[in-house]
Amino acid sequence: MINIRFLIYTAVIFLLSFDHTNAQSLSQNDQKELNQLLHMQAAAQDIPGMVIMVANKKKVIYKSAVGFNSISNRDTLLIDDIFNIASMTKAITSVVIMQLYEQGRIGLDDEAKKYLPEIGGMEVISNFNTTDTSFTTRPVVHPITIRQLLTHTSGIGYPFCNDTLALISQKKKTAQSGNSYLDFPLLHEPGIYWTYGMSTDVLGDIIERITDTAIYK
């Protein structure tokens, strides 16, 4: 369970950075207080390790790392250590998409297949047999858009949180198939329902195509 003090200190750090949004740097006193706060939490082992940054609109004005990146090995946490942030990559990927939108390189209501043609072949599951996991699909009425990928309304799901896709995934693994979003049918017509899934994976591939930069490799 998350320590309440951790939430309080996180709020304090946020407010501190907000107060200095336009500052070119933190004062020595602010830096001292922030350093003491972080080291106190690390010493008390309330938080095993953390990297903190404070930024204004133009640059990072404070950064620090305290604690360990491995409790068992007691390895010191470095400011450039790599973290497994799981689905927080979704937020980062979505920000990049919005930056491309701001640059006029992509439209939110553009069809995703405009940038990633292979996604145009995805169809909606229409009938599913739980006994033998066989299923039939139909073409989509309206193609998947960038907006639907951003809002998880594309119809693309996750095998780990959908029984139908889990059964399909199990069968595909037996056949030595991968677990790409292209390996599965859509769970519903795009734009109809909210479904947590691999929509952000699609956005990542679209970013690669538009920028010609590999972000997952």
Residue 197 is encoded by which pair of tokens? 């899934």
Residues 92 and 185 in one domain: yes
Residue 217 lies in a domain: no
Last residue of a domain, one of 66, 83, 100: 83
Residues 71 and 93 in one domain: no
Residues 165 and 94 in one domain: yes
Q: What is the pLDDT of residues 148-172, one digit of tens each?
A: 999 999 999 999 999 999 999 888 7
Rounded CA Rg of the chain = 22
Q: What is the pLDDT of residues 113-152, one digit of tens each?
A: 999 999 999 999 999 998 888 999 999 999 999 999 999 9
From the list 109, 141, 112, 149, the residue with the least C-alpha distance to 124 is 141
Last residue of a domain, one of 32, 62, 83: 83
Q: Which domain holds residue 48?
A: 4-83
At residue 174, the pLDDT reads 58
Confidence of residue 14 (pLDDT cuts 50, 70, 90): low
Where b means 16+ CB within 10 Å and e means fewer, 162-182 reads: bebbebbbeebeeeeeebebb
Which sign does the torsion angle of CA 93, 95, 101, 104 carry?
negative
Amino acid at site 22? N
Q: What is the pLDDT of residues 83-122, one digit of tens each?
A: 888 898 999 999 999 999 999 999 999 999 999 999 999 9
Residues 165 and 99 in one domain: yes
Residues 110 and 141 in one domain: yes
**Do 50 and 38 meet the contact criterion of CB atoms below 8 Å apart?**
yes
Tell me the catalytic residues.
87, 90, 196
Residues 141 and 64 in one domain: no
Residue 146 lies in a domain: yes
What is the total count of domains within the chain? 2
Identify the bridge partners of residue 64 per DSSP, sorted by sequence position: 52
Confidence of residue 7 (pLDDT cuts 50, 70, 90): very low
Cα dihedral 148/106/204/97 (nearest 10): -80
pTM, to two decimals? 0.72
Rounded to 10°, the helix 199-211/89-102 angle is: 40
Which sign does the torsion angle of CA 145, 149, 151, 157 carry?
positive
Q: What is the pLDDT of residues 28-43, one digit of tens each?
A: 888 888 888 888 877 7
Residues 95 and 190 in one domain: yes
At residue 8, the pLDDT reads 47
The CA distance from 165 to 167, in Å, is: 5
Last residue of a domain, one of 29, 52, 83: 83
Residue 65 lies in a domain: yes
At residue 50, the pLDDT reads 84
At residue 148, the pLDDT reads 98
The CA distance from 39 to 53, in Å, is: 15
Residue 122 lies in a domain: yes
Residues 78 and 105 in one domain: no
